[in-house]
């Protein structure tokens, strides 16, 4: 009797493959052939030992890996500082807007303006100051509006600074009245900073994408 096909069938069955023979025929041959039965027992033992072999010993690198890790994730501290700076800018801009609105309120309600201005002129000045205050508050609430508000506010601030300096030299305005315009300049500077930071954040992802290889 040729035992080779039966031993190949035993090997295939141990590997989880199809033996290629009817299971009853294979079991009947193993029961009738002591050589194949012994061979099957040895093959099963070898297969079991191979599958249950212990893993080779490897060095414990846990301490080395943990020591090589950074104490904080890259960019975490920078991102936290950026969030704090943005929050501080928004709070400062909100404070400027509220103060600007407080300056505008008396002219709107009572019609009293600085330097004995007529009622309608006081109303116009109050409406202007309240509009500027609303712009500051809007940018503080939604920093994405800073870039759009900056041309209007920047132009007004530059012209007001130039004209106020000329009026101071000519004696057309008192120093305390001119000092009140510093609030507007501070607000415009804050809006400009918010706009610059927003543009810088939008440009960073594009730079990062360019550095990633295709």
Residue 10: phi and psi, rounded to 5, are: -60, -45
What is the per-residue pLDDT for 53?
A: 64
Residue 122: phi and psi, rounded to 5, are: -65, -40
- Domain limits for position 33: 4-51
138 CB-near residues (< 8 Å, 6+ apart): 145, 149
Instruction: Return the percentage of the chain with pLDDT > 90, whole number.
Output: 17
pLDDT tens by residue, 16-61: 888 888 888 888 888 888 888 898 899 888 888 777 766 677 888 8
Helical segments of the chain, H only = 4-14, 23-32, 34-51, 62-68, 76-110, 119-141, 146-170, 175-179, 182-211
* Residue 115 within a domain: yes
Residue 32 sits in the same domain as residue 138: no
pLDDT tens by residue, 55-107: 677 888 888 888 887 766 656 677 778 888 889 999 999 999 999 898 888 77
pLDDT band at 206 (very low <50, low <70, confident <90, very high): very low
* Residue 183 within a domain: yes
Closest listed residue to residue 200, CA positions, set 210, 212, 190, 192: 192
Residue 195 sits in the same domain as residue 116: yes
């Amino acid at each position: 009797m040729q035992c080779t096909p039966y031993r190949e069938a035993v090997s295939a069955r141990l590997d989880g493959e199809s033996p290629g023979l009817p299971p009853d025929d294979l079991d009947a041959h193993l029961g009738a052939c002591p050589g194949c039965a012994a061979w099957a027992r040895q093959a099963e033992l070898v297969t079991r030992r191979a599958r249950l072999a212990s893993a080779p010993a490897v060095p414990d690198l846990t301490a080395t890996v943990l020591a090589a890790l950074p104490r904080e994730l890259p960019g975490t501290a920078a991102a936290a500082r950026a969030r704090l700076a943005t929050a501080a800018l928004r709070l400062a801009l909100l404070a400027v807007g509220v103060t600007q609105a407080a300056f505008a309120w008396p002219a709107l309600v009572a019609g009293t303006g600085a330097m004995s201005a007529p009622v309608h002129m006081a109303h116009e000045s109050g409406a202007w100051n309240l509009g500027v205050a609303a712009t500051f508050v809007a940018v503080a609430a939604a920093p994405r509006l800073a870039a759009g508000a900056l041309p209007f506010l920047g132009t007004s601030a530059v012209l007001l600074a130039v004209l106020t300096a000329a009026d101071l030299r000519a004696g057309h305005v008192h120093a305390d009245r001119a000092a009140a315009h510093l609030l507007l300049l501070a607000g415009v500077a804050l809006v400009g900073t918010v706009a610059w930071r927003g543009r810088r954040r939008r440009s960073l992802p594009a730079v990062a994408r360019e550095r990633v290889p295709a």
